Amino acid sequence: MKRSLGAKCAERLKQRMMELSAADALSDMSHLPPARCHELSGDRAKQFSIDLEHPYRLIFIPLNDPMPLCKDGGIDREKITEIQIIGIWDTH
How many domains does the chain contain in total? 1
Backbone CA torsion sign across 31, 36, 37, 39: positive
Predicted local confidence at residue 30, as pLDDT? 66
Give the burial class of 76: count Cβ atoms within 10 A of its Cβ; 0-12 exposed, 13-18 middle, 19 or more buried: middle
- pLDDT digits over 3-41, tens only? 888 999 999 999 999 999 999 999 888 666 677 888 999
CATH number for the domain spanning 40: value is: 3.30.2310.20
pTM score? 0.87
Q: Which domain holds residue 82?
A: 2-89
User: What does the pLDDT look like over 52-91, one tens digit per residue?
Assistant: 988 899 999 999 999 999 999 889 999 999 999 999 998 7
CA-based nearest residue to 15, from 28, 38, 32: 32
